[in-house]
Amino acid sequence: MKFYLPAITLFFLFACNSSNPDTSADSNQPLTGIAAPENISFNITGIYPHDSGAYTQGLEIYSNKLFESTGDFINSSIRIADIKTGFVEKKHMMGTAEIFGEGITIFKDKIYQLTWKNHLVNVYDIKNIEKLFQTFTWPYEGWGITHNDTELIISDGSANLYFINPTDFKVKSTRQVSDNIGPVNKINELEYFDGFIFANVYGSDFIIKIDPANGHVKGRMNLPGLIKQYSKGFSPDENEVLNGIAWDSTNKKLYITGKHWPKIFELSLY
């Protein structure tokens, strides 16, 4: 089944206050000396099928294909799918009863995949997702991963972002993510583009835009009730949350989904 919605101009515009879900949204008063994040506006330009069996942990667009890392221990995988049909073309099952797959990023033709509590980072050649190319040790939990031109960037479920040397996986620097209220915890899936880091905050219905120079939250994209609005038969449980951000640099589109969500959304930012 296909869900093509070419050039639709449905959009959300919501007031943006704190990026901390536990803080009252009634105040824009900067308690930290950091300005309140600005609202990020967008259009939904397409809605496509997504494998609802995928407990999404990481999402990437590469060579016009959707690369996805999924979790849930034995069901953990790396897969390659067609963006607009959702058809899974290749799948590598890498999970076990002990190993839980987490975020991925593609950097210099290598796929870096985190694991949750196993302190392992699996590296695959982009041409063969079924063959483990290299393994690194990571001292913290693995949640989300992305990269800039020279470094990998990792989240561990706290408010910290770690900037990593991809050659030896040593931490070069750390930033604490903070907004006008204070530190923002549960930073999860990451995507870097246009000089900023975009991040899911686990359990929330928004995506934040982070300045990598200082960790300050500069913007917030609000997505309340998105999957319920466009997938009437899907009733997500407390774990099936918004998660997965992928930037298509060629077409300047942002793709987002969630854990076990049956749809993926194509967005244009403005």
Domain extents in the chain: 10-20+29-269
Q: What is the pTM of this model?
A: 0.89
**In the prediction, which pLDDT does 31 show?**
79
Task: Render the burial of 23-46: b for 16+ CB within 10 Å, e for the rest.
Answer: beeeeeeeeeebebbebbbbbbbb
- Give the whole-angstrom CA distance, residue 266 versus residue 64: 13
Other CB atoms within 10 Å distance of the CB of residue 96:
11
Q: What is the pLDDT along the chain (270 residues), one digit of tens a residue?
A: 333 344 433 433 333 333 344 433 334 566 789 999 999 999 999 999 999 999 999 999 999 999 999 999 999 999 999 999 999 999 999 999 999 999 999 999 999 999 999 999 999 999 999 999 999 999 999 999 999 999 999 999 999 999 999 999 999 999 999 999 999 999 999 999 999 999 999 999 999 999 999 999 999 999 999 999 999 999 999 999 999 999 999 999 999 999 999 999 999 999
Q: What would the CATH number be for the domain defined by 10-20+29-269? A: 2.40.128.630
Amino acid at 104: I
Other CB atoms within 10 Å distance of the CB of residue 170:
10
Which residue, 267, 242, 239, is CA-closest to 253? 267
Say if CB 17 and CB 27 are below 8 A apart: yes
Token pair in block for residue 44: 């939904």
Other CB atoms within 10 Å distance of the CB of residue 199:
29
Task: Render the burial of 150-169: b for 16+ CB within 10 Å, e for the rest.
Answer: ebbbbbbbbbbbbbbebeeb
**In the prediction, which pLDDT does 16 show?**
33
C-alpha torsion angle, residues 98, 125, 190, 172 (rounded to 10): 90
Q: Phi and psi dihedrals of 197, rounded to 5?
A: -100, 125
Contacts of 63 (CB under 8 A, 6+ apart): none
**In the prediction, which pLDDT does 62 show?**
97
- Give the whole-angstrom CA distance, residue 192 versus residue 170: 20
**In the prediction, which pLDDT does 107 show?**
98
**In the prediction, which pLDDT does 32 show?**
83
Token pair in block for residue 49: 């099928």
